[in-house]
Structure formats: structure tokens, C-alpha cells
Amino acid sequence: MRTADRLVVRTLRHSGPWLYVLVFTSLAGSLGELALPYVLGRTVDTLVAAGPASRTWLVTCGSVVVLIALCDILGVWAAGGGGARATRWLRLRILRHVLGVGPAMTRRFPEGDLVTRMGVNADETGRGPESIVTGAALLVPTLGGLVALVLIDVWLALTLVAGLVLIALVLRAFLSTTTSLAGDYQRTQADIAARLVDALSGARTIAAAGTEERERARVLDALPRLRAHAMDMWRTNAQAGVRAGAVVPLLEVAVLGVGGLRLAAGDLTAGELYAAARYVVLGAGLGAALGHVARLARARAAAGRLAELTEVPVTAHGGLPLPEGPGTLELRGVSAGVLSGIDLVVPGGSSVAVVGRSGAGKSRLAALAGRLADPEAGRVSLDGVPLPDLSAEALGAAVGYAFERPVLPGETISDAIGLGVADADDRESTVRAAARAACADGFVRRLPLGYGTPLREAPMSGGERQRLGLARAFAHGRRLLVLDDATSSLDTVTERQVSRALAGELRGRTRLIVAHRAATAAAADLVVWLEEGRMRACDTHARLWRDPAYRAVFQAQETVRAGTS
């Protein structure tokens, strides 16, 4: 069985008792619906004729109606409850898996794609059981209705089939016209949105010039065009909907006419005529029933997309704590991506700068050092313990990462800095000390609610975000700090202050710094110079600086920066 189907089945099982209720009510309900027109017709016939069995028929008819109503009520309840339960199980499983895999997941799947899989696809798969059951159950009255009609009169059935074909044609014509109309409409909408985005990027200019109302008029310039396109769509909508809507009632009238002739001839009772008319309506529901098959196919496809996520292996952590030690980082024969054969020992408490042209493997090296990624070959260890043997808690307390563009999960500023820091009495003071070292304390305290300011309400520049990212790293990495181009957006003065903190109060920690500026490399104890994935040299900045090729690394960086700024 394919993984996707297995996932659908497991989801089905996790709907719990709801599923059985749904299966039973759907089946019983649809059988009731199929029986009703016939039973109703016969009941009316016997009641009007005051036949001897009229009481029995009345009771039967009443039971069928009550059965249908009860099944309907219970079925709606069970479908909703079971779907909610199955979706919860599925979603928890997927999100734990995604978190367990970590950043390797975003390397495999683009972020937007990942969100769609965890959100919409999980929903579709979670509703899979409901689709299967309801779809299957819907086939009973529709197909049964057609069979019943054939049994009553073959010509009535043929009339119905002709009508169904007509509806299908109308719907197809409708779909082809709307896509082109919708295209015009969406283009006009996009035009308005683009103008608004332009205007918002000029917010300060507009505010200073006092031209808000003029800008509003300019953005909404295309409204008449939008309305014209929208009315076109309403028109198509009206036409096709009406055509499709009129077909079934007209079919019913035709069936009543043909049936009326049979009634006049005495071949049909009035009740049977009524039943035939109702079976037309039931049979016309075939399209809707087939729609459920499409939903099932969608659920299966969605499950397939989820199964692709679960096939990526989770990062396993060992259970070892970190022994006492200075924070010596050791890479032995490490290869990963572009990197190959890296042997490097960073003595505990020292600072090492990693330099090289873009694409040389600097960020990959940084990712390996604190186990954001595992090497394909070789071993990375901290104070003698291979990183995969360490527990997640030990790693979290020992290693701190700061990035060029940090993403800051958490509710408030304080939350974001202390993310993953164990809840303890000194948590808040750890957070503030880290913020001070990262030169973030000043601007945080100028925010509306200081450290309690919700992140969503704190618009920040790139430099300010970097400072929060640094603070977060400082709050974590008691033994090793990995700074991956983490000071690139800081102005020169602030960067110097951060460097002072790194050389001062954070002195005892081992520091691995991916650097683009010569000044940063100069401040480090040692420089690792990467070239096309290999370590070209490992020496002090001063000695390396004599090599023109080394100097060229920084010149190239400066030019790139000037070009992009």
C-alpha cells in the first residue's frame, strides 16, 4: 500500500467512534431517502382510497421520515466531530515531525509549500473520511433513483439522461467563459493592489506632502473598470446558473406529462406518478455525488503531499549532558554540501573568524558547528562529546546562534530573546543582560511597552532585528557562540560596541564568527579562510593579510556590498 493511502487509513482510524456513527447514519439515511418517494406515494394512494393497510403505510412512512431526519442530524454531528478529531491528530503528528526535522525541511520544501501542506492539505486529508462515506452514501439515492425510474417507466429514465447531458454541457460552457472573465477581473484588481503598495512605500513622502486624499483617488482610479468586469461575471453567472437551474424542473414537468398519460391509461397510480417525479430530482443529484469522488481524490493527493513530509527523517538527539569544559570545538574530516575534508580545532574560549568568497561554504560550516545540520561524513564534537550524542537541552544551553536575518518567534521582545531558555527565576535577568551585551537594551526600552512590547507592534529596522538576534544568541550559548554574518546591518559604532562585549563580558565563550569585514577578522584570535569548500588557510589575520589573494576576499565583498546597497 502506498504511504499516502496508509496515512488516509490511519487518519480514518483516528476519527474514533464518530466514524462508525457516520457510516451507519449515511447508509441508513440514504436508503431512507431512496425509499421515501415510493413509500410516500403508496401511503397517499392507500389513505385516499381508505384502504385497509393505510395505517401500516402511515406508520412505515412516518418511520422513514423520522429515520431520515435522525440520520441527517446525527450524520452532521458525526462528520463535524470526526473530521475535527482526525485533523487534530494528523496536524499534531505532522507539525511535531516538521519541528523534529528542523531546517532541513525548509531546504527540501519551499516555505510557502510547507505551510500549504501543514495547513490546507492536512485539512483536506482530515476531511477524507467524511468524503469517502458521504460520497459513497450519496450514490445510493442517485443511482437508486435512476433504477427506480427505469422500473417505473423506461422512457422517463431516458428523458432524464438526456437532461443530465444537457446540464453537463451548460456547466462546461460556463467554466470556459469564466476563466477568461476572471482573468480580466484579477488583472484590474492586481493593478489597484500594485498602486496601493507603491503608495504605501511612499508613506512618509505622502504624509509630509499632505496628499493622502489625492493618493486614494489615484489608487482607486481603476474602480469603474473593476465594476464593469465584475458585472460581466455576474452576467455569466446568472445565465449559466439559470439555465442549469431550469433544466431539472422542466425535466420533472416532462416526466409528469408522460406519467400523466400512463395515469390516465390506468397503468400508474397518482402516488406512483409523484414518486417518479421525485426520483427525477434524486437522479439529477448524480453530479453532486460525483463531485464527492473528486473530493476523495483530492484527499488522497493531499495525503500524498503529507506523506512526503513524513518521509524526511527526524533529527535524533542523544541523552548525554555536556561535561565541564572550556568549549573546545572540533571538526574531524567533515564533509557536507560544498565543504569537504575540514579538520579544525577551535580552542575553548578563543574567537575564530570564518572568511571566504560567497559560496565558499561559510554558512554551512557555521550550521555544522552547533548542529543545525549534520555532516555527510566526519564528526563534530564539543568538549570531546560528538554533537549527535548530546541531548537537545544540553545543546540548547551550550550553543547560541545569531544570523544575518534572524526570524524572531515569540509573543513579546522578552519572549523572543529568551526563546528556548529554561524557565527559571533568573530568566528575565538573563534576557536583559544579553540585550545589553547586544546593544539592544537602549532601543528596546524606547519601545511603547519596553521588553513587554508585542513583536507585531514593534516595527524594527534590519539593524535592530540583528541586535535582538544577537541578544537571543547570547542568552543561549554559554559555551559556544556562532555568529553567521550577524552584525552586517549594524552601523559602525554599534558594531564596535558589540565587538567590545564579545571581547569583554562574553570573553570566556568560544566564538565562531562568519565575517565579511576585514576589521571583524582582525579582531579574532584566528582566521579560517575557506575557498570552494576547502580550508585554504588557518592563521592570524595579520599574517594572512600579507597574501594579496586573502586581501582580495574582502575587496570582493566590499564591492558586492556597494553594488547592492
- Range list of H helices, 202-222: 203-209, 212-219
The minimum distance between CB 503 and another protein, in angstroms, equals 17
Question: Phi/psi zone of residue 415: left (φ > 0), alpha (ψ -120 to 50 degrees), beta?
Answer: alpha
Stretch that binds another protein, among 8-16, 185-193, 328-336, 377-385 (CB under 8 A): 185-193
297 binds another protein (CB under 8 A): no
Measured from the CB atom, the residue of 81 and 347 that comes closer to another protein is 81
Interface with another protein (CB under 8 A), residue from 459, 504, 542, 546: 459
Interface with another protein (CB under 8 A), residue from 11, 15, 30, 87: 87
Residue for cell digits 413509500?
39
Query: Which runs of E-coded beta strand occur in 424-557?
Result: 480-484, 510-514, 526-531, 534-539
Measure the CA dihedral 451/455/460/462, to 10°: 100
CA atoms within 13 A on the CB side of 386: 12
The minimum distance between CB 316 and another protein, in angstroms, equals 12
CA atoms within 13 A on the CB side of 109: 19
Residue count, binding to another protein (CB under 8 A): 146
Binding mask 298-327 for another protein (x = CB under 8 A): -----------------x------------
What grid cell was written down for 507? Answer: 570573553
SS3 402: strand
Q: Tell me which residue of 310, 295, 300 sits closest to 8, measured CA to CA.
A: 300
Number of H helices, E strands in the chain: 23, 10
Measured from the CB atom, the residue of 234 and 324 that comes closer to another protein is 234
Measured from the CB atom, the residue of 202 and 321 that comes closer to another protein is 202
Residue 1's alpha-carbon distances to 15, 125, 278, 323, in angstroms, are: 21, 17, 42, 47
Burial of 398 (0-12, 13-18, 19+ CB in 10 A): buried
Rounded Cα–Cα distance for residues 44 and 50 (Å)? 9
Binding mask 99-138 for another protein (x = CB under 8 A): xx-xx-xx----x--xx--xx-------------------
Residue 135's alpha-carbon distances to 131, 165, 239, 286, 512, in angstroms, are: 6, 21, 29, 10, 59
53 binds another protein (CB under 8 A): no
Residues 6-45 that bind another protein (CB under 8 A): 40, 43-45
Interface with another protein (CB under 8 A), residue from 23, 27, 28, 47: 47
Residues 224-283 that bind another protein (CB under 8 A): 226-227, 230-231, 234-235, 237-239, 241-243, 245-246, 249-250, 253, 256-257, 260-261, 263-264, 269-271, 273-274, 278, 281
Burial of 133 (0-12, 13-18, 19+ CB in 10 A): buried
Residues 142-171 that bind another protein (CB under 8 A): none
Interface with another protein (CB under 8 A), residue from 219, 339, 368, 528: 219
The minimum distance between CB 445 and another protein, in angstroms, equals 5
Interface with another protein (CB under 8 A), residue from 461, 540, 555, 559: 461
Measured from the CB atom, the residue of 61 and 380 that comes closer to another protein is 61
Measured from the CB atom, the residue of 87 and 414 that comes closer to another protein is 87
Report residue 518: phi and psi, to 5°. -60, -35
Stretch that binds another protein, among 131-139, 327-335, 456-464, 544-552 (CB under 8 A): 456-464
The minimum distance between CB 341 and another protein, in angstroms, equals 26
Report residue 16: phi and psi, to 5°. 70, -160
Binding mask 483-522 for another protein (x = CB under 8 A): -----xxxxxxx-x--------------------------
Q: Around Cβ 111, how many Cβ atoms within 10 Å?
A: 9
SS3 78: helix
Residue for cell digits 476572471?
182
Interface with another protein (CB under 8 A), residue from 392, 433, 522, 538: 392
Interface with another protein (CB under 8 A), residue from 14, 85, 432, 509: 85
The minimum distance between CB 398 and another protein, in angstroms, equals 10
193 binds another protein (CB under 8 A): yes
Q: Yes or no: say if 21 and 76 are a contact pair by the CB < 8 Å rule.
A: no
Measured from the CB atom, the residue of 494 and 510 that comes closer to another protein is 494
Stretch that binds another protein, among 59-67, 146-154, 354-362, 375-383 (CB under 8 A): 59-67
The minimum distance between CB 533 and another protein, in angstroms, equals 21
Residue for cell digits 560567497?
358
Rounded Cα–Cα distance for residues 173 and 166 (Å)? 11
The minimum distance between CB 425 and another protein, in angstroms, equals 18
The minimum distance between CB 397 and another protein, in angstroms, equals 8
Interface with another protein (CB under 8 A), residue from 136, 419, 522, 538: 419
Rounded Cα–Cα distance for residues 557 and 354 (Å)? 14
The minimum distance between CB 276 and another protein, in angstroms, equals 12
SS3 358: coil
Interface with another protein (CB under 8 A), residue from 448, 504, 542, 548: 448
What grid cell was written down for 76? Answer: 452532521
Interface with another protein (CB under 8 A), residue from 192, 312, 522, 538: 192
Q: Yes or no: say if 142 and 292 are a contact pair by the CB < 8 Å rule.
A: no
Rounded Cα–Cα distance for residues 545 and 559 (Å)? 18
Measured from the CB atom, the residue of 1 and 423 that comes closer to another protein is 423
